[in-house]
Homo-oligomer: A and B are copies of this chain.
Amino acid sequence: MKLPPLVQSFVLHFGEMGSRWGINRTVGQIYALLYVSPGPLNAEQIVEALGVSRSNVSMGLKELQAWNLVLLKHIPDDRRDYFTTPDDVWLILRTLAEERKKREVDPTLSVLRELLMQTAGSEDERHAQARMAEMHGLIERLTTWYEDVKRLETERLAALLALGAKVTRLLEAKDKVVGLVRPRKGG
C-alpha cells in the first residue's frame, strides 16, 4: 500500500473498523480511499493503492454499490469504470441510515409482526409475545420517526439536530403560548 501518510492512516482505520461496521476490511478500505480521493478512481488504481487483488476490489466495489455508497462514473474515451463517493456527507448519512435500517431492522420487524399474529399455546408463550409486542412497539416508533425526519431537507434536519433536546422546552412553551395567543373557547 503506497499512499500519503494521512490517507493511509485513514484507510487503515476504516479497514480495521470494517468488521464492527458489518463490512470487511477491503470494503472499508476501498470506501475510505474513494472518500478522500480528489477524483474518481478505477479498479486498477485501487488495486495499486491498497495492494489487494483485482478480484477482491471487484467484489468490494460490487458490495459498495449494493449499499449505494459508491457512484459509477465514466470518463470520455476511457472504457474503464471509475468510482467515487457522493460529495455530500449528509447524503452519505442518509444512505447509510437507509441501508442499515433495511438490513438490520426491517427483517426483525417483520419477524416480530409474524410472531405476534400467532396464537400463544402456553403461559410462557403468552409472556414471550407480550415482550415481543413491547419490542415491536418501540421499533415501530423509531422507524416511524425515522421515515418522518428523513424527508426533511438537509437544512431543516441540521436545524433540528442543532436544537437537540431544547425542542422539548419549545414544546412546553408552545402550550403556554398557544393559550396566550389563541385563548381556548371554553377557557
Contacts and interface: CB of A to CB of B under 8 A. Distances in A.
Contacts of A4: 121-122, 124-125, 128
Contacts of A144: 161, 164
A62 interface: no
| Number of copies of this protein chain within its complex | 2
B142 A161 contact: yes
B165 A149 contact: yes
Nearest to A147: B164
A158 B140 CA distance: 12
A130 B13 CA distance: 17
Nearest to A129: B6
A13 B170 contact: no
B162 A141 contact: yes
Given A9-B111, A138-B90, A127 B161 contact: no
A55 interface: no
Interface size class of A (residues with CB under 8 A): 35 or more
A35 B131 contact: yes
Interface string A101-139: 001100110010001001011111101110110110110
A165 B181 contact: no
Nearest to A137: B89
Interface string A5-42: 11101100100010111100000000000011110000
A71 to B, nearest CB: 15
A163 B171 contact: yes
A111 B13 contact: yes
Interface in A128-187: 128-129, 131-132, 134-135, 137-138, 141-142, 144-145, 148-149, 151-152, 156, 158-168, 170-171, 173-174, 177, 180-181
A129 to B, nearest CB: 6
A52 interface: no
